[in-house]
């Protein structure tokens, strides 16, 4: 496939982001059950805007360019949430981040109404692990006018890690993206609005994940910015036999490798350490 998006500027609402060098996206889960930091924005069972704002502000000060807000856990085995639950979790956080911090906010959602309402509340990007496959999502994303990250996932979170199978994982993911990009084009979504995420850990074994990282430039050859998220994931635990709270070194190594192989956005929990790694890489690369 020929290159389709040569711009180094990603227009996120009123914000223009320079993606000629890797940017850091900080993870802010407005959920009680996400795999790594679920509940960090909660007091008991109640979402705390103060805690969410404090966490987001800290990540921005540490060097995050984008804050990614999610109201549905997509960890392996996660149960789905209702549309109303997701709205109740996400919208107050988005509105607060935009009004109080003027943050570039990405919303991690697959739900059409959440996309529409988040855009009305000032969100600057849509990050969809289901690549706009849910009913109404493609139309909602189109109407939003925002950049859209299309992620590859085999299956659904509840079952995706049961027994993932591919003929060739890199070729299969490339084919999936070609189909979803074509669907976006049919709706009139400009190439400059599309970002691709291989979906590390989403319906993939360790072997699949390593193959995708090794051949990340092949995905880059599709001609769109790449977003990668490997922070604290089980692939690090499998490689290094490390528990969740001991995966920072592995996360940083993967972030560095992804940046070297062409990733434009690195989605992480540990912003300050990742920013340091990318600064060193930039200094050495000149």
Residues annotated as catalytic (active site), given as ranges:
233, 267
Which residues neighbour 190 within 8 Å (Cβ) at sequence distance 6 or greater? Answer: none
Which of 69, 181, 66, 53 is closest to 117 using CA atoms?
69
Token output for 47: 């979402």
CA 167 to chain centre: 25
Element (H, E) at 58: helix 49-62
CA distance 202 to 151: 9
**Residue pair 123/105 in contact by the 8 Å Cβ criterion:** yes
CA distance 152 to 21: 23
For 238-243, which contacts have Cβ atoms below 8 Å and span 24 or more sequence positions? Answer: 238/206, 239/206
**Residue pair 144/126 in contact by the 8 Å Cβ criterion:** yes
CA distance 103 to 216: 29
Which of 206, 209, 204, 213 is closest to 162 using CA atoms?
204
Which of 27, 18, 4 is closest to 266 using CA atoms?
27
Going by the DSSP 8-state scheme, the letter that residue 69 receives in this structure is E
Going by the DSSP 8-state scheme, the letter that residue 192 receives in this structure is G
**Residue pair 71/92 in contact by the 8 Å Cβ criterion:** no
């Amino acid at each position: 496939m020929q290159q389709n998006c040569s711009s180094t500027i990603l227009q996120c609402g009123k914000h223009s982001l320079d993606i000629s060098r890797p940017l850091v996206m900080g993870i802010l889960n407005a959920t009680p059950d996400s795999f790594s930091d679920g509940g960090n924005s909660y007091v008991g069972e109640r979402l705390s805007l103060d805690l969410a704002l404090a966490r987001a502000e800290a990540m921005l000060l540490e060097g995050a360019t984008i804050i990614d807000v999610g109201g549905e856990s997509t960890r392996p085995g996660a149960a789905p949430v209702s549309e109303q639950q997701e709205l109740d979790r996400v919208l107050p956080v988005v509105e607060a981040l935009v009004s109080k911090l003027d943050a570039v906010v990405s919303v991690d959602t697959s739900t059409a109404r959440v996309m529409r309402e988040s855009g009305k509340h000032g969100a600057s990007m849509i990050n969809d692990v289901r690549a706009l496959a849910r009913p109404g999502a493609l139309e909602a994303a189109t109407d939003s006018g925002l950049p859209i990250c299309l992620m590859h996932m085999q299956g659904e979170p509840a079952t995706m890690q049961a027994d993932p199978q591919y003929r060739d994982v890199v070729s299969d993911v490339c084919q999936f993206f070609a189909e979803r990009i074509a669907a976006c084009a049919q709706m009139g979504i400009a190439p400059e609005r599309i970002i691709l995420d291989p979906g590390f850990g989403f319906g993939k074994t360790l072997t699949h994940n390593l193959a995708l990282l090794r051949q990340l430039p092949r995905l880059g050859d599709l001609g769109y910015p790449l977003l990668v998220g490997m922070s604290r994931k089980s692939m690090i635990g499998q490689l290094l036999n490390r528990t969740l709270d001991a995966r920072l070194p592995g996360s940083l190594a993967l972030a560095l490798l992804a940046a070297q192989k062409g990733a434009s956005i690195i989605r992480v929990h540990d912003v300050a350490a990742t920013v340091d790694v990318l600064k060193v890489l930039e200094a050495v690369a000149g």
